[in-house]
Amino acid sequence: MAIKERMSGNEAVAFAIKQVNPDVMPAFPITPSTELPQFVSNYVANGKIDTEFIPVESEHSSMSAAMGASAAGARALTATSSCGLALMWEMLYVAASSRLPIALALVNRGLTGPLNINCEHSDSMGARDSGWLQVYAENNQEAYDNFIMAYRVAEHKDVRLPIMTCMDGFITSHAVENITLIEDDLVKKFVGEYEPEHYLLNEEEPMAVGPYAVSNYCMEAKRAQAQGMMNAKQVFLDVAKEFEQISGRKYGLFEEYKLDDAEYAVVGIGSAMGTAKDAIDALRAKGIKAGLLKVRVFRPFPGEEMAAALAGCKAIAIMDRCESYSGNGGPLGAELTSALYRAKSKAEIINVVYGLSGRDVKVEDFENLYGELADIAVNGVKDTQYRYLGLRE
Amino acid sequence: MRELIEIRWHGRGGQGAKTAALLLADVAFNIGKHVQGFPEYGPERMGAPITAYNRISDNEIRVHSNIYDPDFVVVVDETLLEIVDVTNGLKEDGAILVNTSKPKEEIIPHLKGYKGKLYTIDARKVSMEALGKYFPNMPMLAAIVKISEVMDTDRFMDEMEASLKHKFAKKPEVLEGNMKALWMALEEVK
Amino acid sequence: MDNTMNSKYKTENINESISWKDLTPGLQIYEAGTSKQFMTGEWRVNTPVIDFEKCKQCLLCVPYCPDSSIPVEDGKRLDFDYDHCKGCGICVKACPFGAISMKEGK
Could A170 and B62 be called an inter-chain contact, meaning their C-beta atoms sit closer than 8 Å? no
| Pick from A117, A168, A274: CB nearest B62 | A274
Residue A340 confidence (pLDDT): 98
pLDDT of residue C9: 86
Q: How far apart are CA A370 and CA A387, in angstroms?
A: 14
Range of the domain at C80: 39-106
Residue range B32-54: mean pLDDT, rounded? 90
Q: Is A167 left (phi over 0), alpha (psi -120 to 50) or beta?
A: beta
Please give the C-alpha separations between residue C9 and each of A18, A113, C35, in angstroms, as whole numbers: 36, 46, 16
A55 in contact with C at a CB cutoff of 8 Å? no
Task: Return the SS3 of C103.
Answer: strand
Which residues, including other chains, have CB under 8 Å from residue A354's CB and lie 6 or more apart?
A272, A319, A320, A321, A361, A365, A388, A389, A390
Confidence of residue B168 (pLDDT cuts 50, 70, 90): confident
Nearest CB neighbour to C28, from listed A204, A207, A220: A207
The answer to whether the CB of A264 falls within 8 A of the CB of A373 is yes
> What pLDDT band is residue C5 in, cutting at 50, 70 and 90?
low
Over chain B, what is the mean pLDDT?
A: 94
Counting the structural domains of chain C, the total is 2
Nearest in space to A334 (alpha carbons), one of B69, A272, A322? A322
pLDDT recorded at residue A242 = 98
CB B177 within 8 A of CB B134: no
* Chain C environment of A216 (Cβ under 8 Å): 16
A99/C31 touch (CB, cutoff 8 Å), yes or no: no
Measure in Å the smallest separation between the Cα of B33 and chain A Cα atoms.
9
pLDDT confidence of residue A65: 98
Of the residues A3, A4, A5, A6, the best mutation for testing chain B's interface (the one with the most B CB atoms within 10 Å of its CB) is A6
pLDDT, tens digit (0-9, with 9 covering 90-100), for C13-71 = 899 999 999 999 999 999 988 888 889 999 999 999 999 999 999 999 999 999 999 99
Phi, psi of A28 (to 5 degrees): -130, 135
Whether B98 and B80 have beta carbons less than 8 Å apart is answered as no
* Nearest residue in chain B measured CA to CA from A277: B62
Query: Are A156 and A116 spatial neighbours (Cβ–Cβ below 8 Å)?
Result: no
Same domain, C48 and C18: no
C73 and C100 assigned to the same domain: yes
User: CA A325, A331, A336, A342 torsion: positive or negative?
Assistant: positive
3-state SS class at B101: coil
Q: HEC states along chain A?
A: CCEEEEECHHHHHHHHHHHHCCCEEEECCCCCCCHHHHHHHHHHHCCCCCCEEEECCCHHHHHHHHHHHHHHCCCEEEEECHHHHHHCHHHHHHHHHCCCCCEEEEEECCCCCCCCCCCCCHHHHHCCCCCCEEEECCCHHHHHHHHHHHHHHHCCCCCCCCEEEEEECCCCCCCEEEEEECCHHHHHHHHCCCCCCCCCCCCCCCCECCCCCCHHHHHHHHHHHHHHHHHHHHHHHHHHHHHHHHHCCCCCCEEEECCCCCCEEEEECCCHHHHHHHHHHHHHHCCCCEEEEEECEEECCCHHHHHHHCCCCCEEEEEECCCCCCCCCCHHHHHHHHHHHHCCCCCEEEEEECCHHHCCCCHHHHHHHHHHHHHHHHHCCCCCCEEECCCCC
Q: Does A294 touch chain B (CB under 8 A)?
A: no
ipTM exceeding 0.90, yes/no: yes
Q: Which residues of A touch B22 (CB under 8 A)?
A: 176
Q: Across the interface, which of C2, C19, C27 has its CB nearest the CB of A211? A: C27
Cis peptide before A196 (omega within 30 of 0): no
Domain count, chain B: 1
pLDDT given for residue C8 in this prediction:
80
Helical H runs in B93-171? 104-107, 123-131, 137-148, 153-167
* Other chains touching A, judged by 3 or more CB pairs under 8 Å: B, C
User: Is a pLDDT exceeding 70 seen at residue C93?
Assistant: yes
The pLDDT, as a whole number, for residue C6 is 66
The closest of A112, A130, A32, A146 to A80, measured between CA atoms, is: A32
The reported pLDDT for the residue numbered A152 is 98
State how far residue B36 is from chain A, nearest Cα, in angstroms: 5
Domain with residue B101: its CATH number is 3.40.920.10
* Residue from B35, B36, B60, B62 whose CB has the most chain A CBs within 10 Å, to mutate: B62
Domain of C50, CATH number, reads 3.30.70.20
Within 8 A of C21 by CB-CB distance, chain A residues are 224, 227
pLDDT digits (tens), chain A, 393 positions = 689 999 999 999 999 999 999 999 999 999 999 999 999 999 999 999 999 999 999 999 999 999 999 999 999 999 999 999 999 999 999 999 999 999 999 999 999 989 999 999 999 999 999 999 999 999 999 999 999 999 999 999 999 999 999 999 999 999 999 999 999 999 999 999 999 999 999 999 999 999 999 999 999 999 999 999 999 999 999 999 999 999 999 999 999 999 999 999 999 999 999 999 999 999 999 999 999 999 999 999 999 999 999 999 999 999 999 999 999 999 999 999 999 999 999 999 999 999 999 999 999 999 999 999 999 999 999 878 899 999 999
Nearest residue of chain A to residue B33 (CA atoms): A178
d(CA A81, CA A30): 6
Q: Are residues C80 and C43 located together in one domain of the fold?
A: yes
> Beta strand A77-80 with A348-353: parallel, antiparallel or unpaired?
unpaired
C59 and C21 in a common domain: no
A361 to B42: CB separation less than 8 angstroms, yes or no: no
Shortest CA distance from A219: residue in chain C: C20
> Cβ contact (<8 Å) for B43 and A360?
no
pLDDT band at B161 (very low <50, low <70, confident <90, very high): very high
Inter-chain CB proximity A220 and C19 less than 8 Å: yes
> C100 and C61, same structural domain?
yes
Q: Let me know whether C74 and C55 are in one domain.
A: yes
pLDDT at B1: 64
Check residue A383 and give its pLDDT.
Answer: 79
Based on the fold, state whether residues C3 and C19 are members of the same structural domain: yes
* Domain identity same for C10 and C50: no
Structural domains in chain A plus CATH codes? 3-247 (3.40.50.970), 254-388 (3.40.50.920)
Residue in A closest to B67 by C-alpha: A362
Give the whole-angstrom CA distance, residue B123 versus residue C94: 84
Q: CA–CA separation, B165 vs B172, rounded Å?
A: 8
Query: In this complex, do B64 and A139 lie within 8 Å of one another by their Cβ atoms?
Result: yes
B155 CB-near residues (< 8 Å, 6+ apart): B31
Residues A176, B64: C-beta atoms closer than 8 Å? no
Amino acid at B50: I
Look at residue B169 and tell me whether its pLDDT is greater than 90: no
Rounded distance between C-alpha atoms, residue B94 and residue B1, angstroms: 12
Domain that holds residue B129: 4-188
Residues C29, C31: Cα–Cα separation, whole Å: 6
**Chains C and A contact (Cβ–Cβ under 8 Å for 3 or more pairs):** yes
Do C32 and C43 reside in the same domain of the chain?
Answer: no
- For residue C49, the one-letter residue type is V
Distance of alpha carbon A26 from alpha carbon A55, whole angstroms: 6
State yes or no: chains B and C have 3 or more CB pairs below 8 A. Answer: no
Most distant CA pair in chain B, distance: 47
What pLDDT is attached to residue A231?
98
Q: How confident is the model at residue C1 (pLDDT cuts 50, 70, 90)?
A: very low
User: How far is A199 from A73, CA to CA, in rounded Å?
Assistant: 5
In this structure, the answer to whether residues C3 and C54 fall within a common structural domain is: no
CB A159 within 8 A of CB A133: yes
Is the pLDDT reported for residue C2 higher than 60? Answer: no
Residues on chain B touching A361 (C-beta within 8 angstroms): 65
Helix (H) or strand (E) holding B51: strand B49-57
Give phi and psi for B182, each to the nearest 5.
-65, -45
Determine if the peptide bond prior to A113 is cis (ω within 30°).
yes
| CB pair distance less than 8 Å for C26 and A216 | no
If we measure between CA atoms, which residue out of B86, B82, B85, B78 comes closest to residue B7? B86
What burial class does residue A343 get, using C-beta atoms within 10 Å of its C-beta: 0-12 exposed, 13-18 middle, 19+ buried? middle
- In this structure, the answer to whether residues C29 and C44 fall within a common structural domain is no
Given a cut of 50, whether residue C3 has pLDDT beyond it is no
Are C31 and A207 inside 8 Å of each other by CB? Answer: yes
- Exposure of A291 by Cβ count < 10 A (0-12 exposed, 13-18 middle, 19+ buried)? buried
